[in-house]
Structure 1
Amino acid sequence: MELHHFTHTHPLTFFERQNRDNDAENTNCSGCLDPILEESSYGCTQCNYFLHKKCAEVLPPVIQSQTHEHPFTLLCKQISFCCDACGKDGSHSPYVCFSCNLTVHDHCTSLSRTIRIIRHEHLLRHTYFLHESESEWRPCSICHQDLSADRGCYHCPTCDYAAHVHCATRSDIWDGTTRDEEDDMESSEAGLDSIIRIVKEIKLGEDMIAAEIEHFSHEHTLIFSNEGADNKCCDGCGIPISSPFYSCEECDFFLHKTCAELPRNKVFSFHQHTLTLHSDGVFPCRACSIDSNGFSYRCERCSFGLDLRCSSIPDTLIHQAHRHNLFVFFKDDREHKCNGCGALEKNGLQCCECWYFLDFKCATLPLTAMHSYDEHPLKLTFEDDSDPDQLYCDVCEDKRNPYHWFYSCNDCSVTIHPKCVFGKYP
């Protein structure tokens, strides 16, 4: 049986899978470039040109891709190229958009337009160029290796998160399903509706605000407030309350507005299952190793759980303490010394350019905080060049390390350990 295929000038002869004597076993398919091995194939022995049977029957001359507005046309020739869709090299039979001068692998014509990965909270959209990039190269947000701004990648325009195509589509990062923006918005709204019920709304400026809500974590109605609440902590995240927040008039229960509006389900960068919001019991956070009795995100399928602060850390963090981006890593083989507190930890965020490291405890410290020792907001401070004799914590009166972070009030010359602001003496 012969096939006249548009990719080759000579008729191609059909070789059955059982035929172990043909030349196809020792060559690669000119369509997908995988070895022919013992699969059925079509081939021209004169030119040593072979196609898997499945490739010969499905490789169309023109393809309309989800990721590009124009059709791609198959270019059937031996040619070296760099794929504009994924940034990797190819050697044979690319698809070409002659209008835009794009050249792509045949398998890259089927890339999904938008995907959701476990490493990022927003949908990623495929793009052929990073038009807003300030330089030709930037680090991939997943592998942290160089990513060309002139080649295709998956990108979040909201956060400027960008990843190689082959990194974003790894099986441990993406489950292979696609989602568009409308589906994602509906899912987010459904997640919010499942944890609160709005009892009463009011107009605040130009916005409608939920003035009274019922929250899944508390038996009484919670009232909205935009004023201060002295010496009160959020029952969700454990951080001192700041406006806006919700509180219970019948008991001492407080929630930041952001904590009250958390989604029921979310993903964490380095866990393969969806995490569900819980509000009961004391639990150890798997990221920072601190026991917490506030809200947590836990996996229903295994013992993995995170407190609210650690679950909110993005895959890529921009922190005031450091000039470069910091990237999350989890369960590393060796311990790293935290630049914020000096502790040795395996989990944290690291700079790939200078190896600056923060553990989750320091990376999640709020930039400002309140404490009963001082009437002013305390500012998180990253270095201290004061006289060594003055390096004391005003709450516990123990000495402070000048290279470790602390909270300070410049008006009152107050300095306090972070652990004294939030932990031992809250």
Structure 2
Amino acid sequence: MTNKESDFHDHPLVMVNQQRPYTCDGCKTEGIGLRYRCERCNYDLHHQCMFSSPKLKFQGNQYRFLEKPLPGPNCTRANYCIDCRNCDACGKNVKGFVYHCSDTGWDLHPRCAKLDCKISIGDVTFWLEKQGPSTCAWCNKRLLKGAKKKIPGWSYVSNYDDYNFHVYCVMEMAMQSSSSASSSAITPVMEETKLTDLRVLIKSKKNGANSKNKWLEILKIFLRTVFSILLGDPTAILASTLAHLVTEGFLH
């Protein structure tokens, strides 16, 4: 194993690929699979947090990297606050590493800042949009549950508006599937009502076995692509397994 020096930890970190969930000590969000770890300190970093850049451009806006989130507009704290800000992509609270855009006031978790703005699969393209025009196929809502007015949560929307997935919900799908995989369960641990909604969605929008199978393959590739980013596993080996678990749920 190769040791990697990090600007964020006193000891070198070793790249490991363990299939149990963990909390990244950089951005404070969940992960599974590939990580950079200090066994001595029980310290873990996502790939995106380990190799963060001082600045990046995302959807036409410039962001700068911060180790701690800035206080909100009405916050009384002087330097940083872990309660005020939410990621504009997934809607989850920002408690650690973050990319902040001073022009828009937007905040992004490091892994969310690496999301592809466009995912093309054959003749279907999923676009990353600030607010989807239709309800999410997973939660059946347009806005995230408990979302703030200014942070509705971004979505991947197909070019025909056939499918819309909140970034937050894709993350939830990934973590639910990873829990199932790590516990060696045969069936993914998912809410049956949501799986039923997805089956109905596929049948209602895509009639015929060939069309249904085509869209299941498209969804599998789409989920594998997004999972590989959100889980912090660039090899996509684990992400491929999780995507298979999700789509197997669609079929039963």
Structure with the largest fraction of strand: 1
Structure with the largest fraction of helix: 2
Q: Structure 2-normalised TM-score?
A: 0.50
